[in-house]
Amino acid sequence: MQQKIAIEMKGITKTFGALKANDNVNLTVEKGEVHALLGENGAGKSTLMNMLSGIYTPDSGTIAISGEQVAFTSPKDSIRKGIGMIHQHFKLVDVMTAKENIIIGQPAEFFLQGKALSKKVKALSDQYGLDIDPDKKVYDMSVGEKQTLEIIKVLFRGAEILILDEPTAVLTPQEIRKLFRVIRNMKEQGCAVVIITHKLNEVMEISDRVTVLRKGQSVETVVTKDVGVSSLIEMMVGKKVELSIQKKTFEERKPLLELDEVTVKNSEGKDALSNVSFTLRGHEILGVAGVANSGQKELCECIAGLARADKGRIYFEGGNIVDKTPRDIIKLGIRMGFIPEDRLGMGLVGSMDIVHNMILKDYQNQPGIALRRGPCVAQARKIVKELDIQTPSIYTPVKRLSGGNIQKVLLGREIDSAPKVLITAYAVRGLDIGASYKIYDLLNEQKAKGVGVLFVGEDLDVLMDLCDRILVLCHGEVTGIVDPSKVTKEDIGLLMTGQRQESGDGNKFPGEGGEA
């Protein structure tokens, strides 16, 4: 009789130094099943999967594949057992073709059997409904194509168990739909698919069962169709969370910041932003959507004066600020909180405490040459209290705080300066659900105070819930400014891939009525 269980992990424990990344975790995945692994950042999802793919070895516990006990010491062992992991960051060689990437690291014959290989790749893609051109170079591929290639790569190696680590983070809604179709095909062919994610709607859509991890422990495994989103959140967070973003619309929305045909070149002399024009008003949150690296960073930096606009004008309260220094722009009341991937790199100094990080943007306004800490101590106390930052003291180096608290320190500092324009980029990057909603609340408070908020985000659902308008960037160009209440996610997805708003009268799109 055929073995029905694909993966059985029992009592897995893994510690890193003082941190228990996995604590007695159990996971069972059946063949022909899509199993979602759900949990907040740091819950131990990736650690668990890295042990399954042989990158880490568990401290204790057992792993059985198709009923057979295994002890992986390297990724090679797990590949041999038919396990394929598709990482968040693709591991492809840019200058090679799809075909060449597929056979890298494979025991190959001396001569490459080009045609035979193409045929085999073709057969595989047909089997699972994947679209790929075997002779296309990787650098010519879109993110979606690269991911397809990664999938074919592991299938080619005979994988029957697929692990996808946050596969949708970089995709447009259309690409996500395509990916889900492929996953369903694989499931029908009897593969076991594990998908790591923290997006609940995707869990509901694609998975058969869900295992929820929290703080390194497996909380529960449930059948997806028997649970609701709210109970999943409760399992993830460990308590009930009020999850709603209140969107209030304000009548008086006077223009604050106006970009007029702004072009910014990157270090290679190419346009990172081209001819971007929009108006940011008071009492509004303007979202910025786009695939990663579509010019979001340059947009933030040119407003803050950190990158030079090669062309165009930026008006703030009527004056052109293109030639002003970052310092002057801060003084005008334009504040930016940019959360980079490592969270600390821009805006906070990890080894310094909260007080010294408060000083960072204000010390320049102090008279004389001496550094005055007094006011910043008070300010640090205030934001720790108001934003409920979990820290042993205000003199703890910020890098010791958890991600959410670090971000609160950063945003707290910018907000506390009573800015007129607040630019936030990836404000909730890596945050858990509870903390994310606290940040949204903070931004809404700012909006209520009359601040113009520019919110660069990744999650379209959030953008649509939070923002009054959404500006879509594609390759540095604005492909549309839309009212989220009048468009669908798919519409935005199309704009993200470069389709322009099809309306005849320039900037007008459903909902984009009274543009100044």
Partner 1 sequence: MNLIRISKRDDLPKKKEIVIRILAILLSILFSGVIIMMFGLNPAEIFRSIIEGAVGTPTRIRQTILTAVPLTITSLGIIVAFKMKFWNIGAEGQITMGALGATVIALFLPESVPAPLKLLLMLLASMLFGGVWAFIPAIFKAKMGTNETIFTLMLNYIAIKFVTYLQYGPWKDPNSGGFPRIAYYPDNALLPSLFGVHIGWIIAIICVAFVYLFINYTKKGYEITVVGESLETARYAGMNISQIIVTAMFISGGMCGVVGMIQAAGIEKTLVAPIANNYGFTAIITAWLSRLNAVACLFVCIAFAMLTQGGAYIQIALGVPSAVASVVQGTVLFFVLGSEFFLQYRVSLARRAAQAKKEVA
Distance CA 45, CA 74 (A): 19
332 binds partner 1 (CB under 8 A): no
DSSP-based three-state secondary structure for 347: coil
* Residue 329 in contact with partner 1, rule: CB under 8 A: yes
User: Contact between 27 and partner 1 (CB under 8 A)?
Assistant: no
Calpha distance 447→280 (Å, rounded): 12
Q: Determine if 21 is a binding residue for partner 1 (CB under 8 A).
A: yes
- The least CB distance from residue 286 to partner 1, in Å, is 21
Which amino acid is it at 393? S
78 binds partner 1 (CB under 8 A): no
* Contact between 377 and partner 1 per CB under 8 A: no
Write the CB contacts of 229 (distance below 8 Å, at least 6 apart in sequence).
200, 201, 204
AA letter at 460: L
Q: Based on the shown chain and the rule CB under 8 A, indicate whether residue 366 belongs to the binding site for partner 1.
A: yes
Q: How many residues bind partner 1 (CB under 8 A)?
A: 45
Q: 1, 2, 17, 252: which one contacts partner 1 (CB under 8 A)?
A: 17
For 46, the token pair is: 């990736």
How do strand 421-425 and strand 334-338 relate by DSSP bridges?
parallel
Question: Which residues are CB-contacts of 69 (< 8 A; sequence separation ≥ 6)?
Answer: 62, 63
The yes or no reply on residue 327 touching partner 1 (CB under 8 A) is: yes
The residues facing 86 across adjacent strands are: 164
> Do 55 and 212 touch, CB atoms closer than 8 A?
no
Beta carbon of residue 55, minimum distance to partner 1 (angstroms, whole number): 8
Minimum distance, C-beta of residue 98 to partner 1, in the bound complex (Å): 27
Indicate whether 201 belongs to the interface with partner 1 (CB under 8 A). Answer: no
* Nearer Cβ to partner 1 (351/488): 351
> Which range of residues in 4-12, 139-147, 217-225, 329-337 is near partner 1 by CB under 8 A?
329-337
Query: Should residue 351 be labelled a site residue for partner 1 when binding is judged by CB under 8 A?
Result: yes
Residue 59 CA to residue 280 CA, distance in Å, equals: 53
Confirm if 37 and 194 have CB atoms less than 8 A apart.
Answer: yes
Instruction: Pick the stretch among 143-151, 196-204, 312-320, 321-329 that binds partner 1 (CB under 8 A).
Output: 321-329
Q: Find the part of the chain contacting partner 1 (CB under 8 A) among 28-36, 271-279, 346-354, 504-512.
A: 346-354
Cα–Cα distance list, 139 to 93, 96, 245 (Å): 9, 8, 39
By CB under 8 A, residue 61 contacts partner 1: no
Query: Counting contacts by CB under 8 A, is residue 364 touching partner 1?
Result: yes
Q: Which of 256, 247, 310, 308 is nearest to 278 (CA)?
A: 256
Judged by CB under 8 A, the residue of 24, 234, 363, 449 near partner 1 is 363
Q: Which of 60, 22, 61, 67 is nearest to 43 (CA)?
A: 22
Q: Which positions ≥6 away from 220 have C-beta within 8 Å?
A: 211, 212, 235
Q: How many CB atoms lie within 10 A of CB 108?
A: 11
Asked if 203 and 197 touch (Cβ cutoff 8 Å), the reply is: yes
Residues in region 212-271 near partner 1 by CB under 8 A? none
Contact between 72 and partner 1 (CB under 8 A)? no
Who contacts 205 (Cβ-Cβ below 8 Å, separation ≥6)? 180
Residue the block writes with tokens 């593969």: 191
> Near partner 1 by CB under 8 A, which window of 39-47, 101-109, 147-155, 272-280?
39-47
> Cβ 462 to partner 1, closest distance in Å?
24
Question: Cβ of residue 132: shortest distance to partner 1, in angstroms?
Answer: 28
Stretch that binds partner 1, among 54-62, 131-139, 458-466, 473-481 (CB under 8 A): 54-62
Contact flag: residue 319 with partner 1 (CB under 8 A): no
Does 56 engage in binding with partner 1 (CB under 8 A)? yes
Sheet with 284-289: strands ordered across:
334-338, 421-425, 452-456, 284-289, 469-474, 477-482
- Residue 279 corresponds to which amino acid? T
Closest distance of CB 390 from partner 1, Å: 16
Residue 356 binds partner 1, judged by CB under 8 A: yes
Q: Which residues bind partner 1 (CB under 8 A)?
A: 16-19, 21, 42, 46-47, 50, 55-57, 59, 73, 304-306, 325-327, 329-330, 336, 338, 340, 344-352, 356, 359-361, 363-364, 366, 369-371, 400
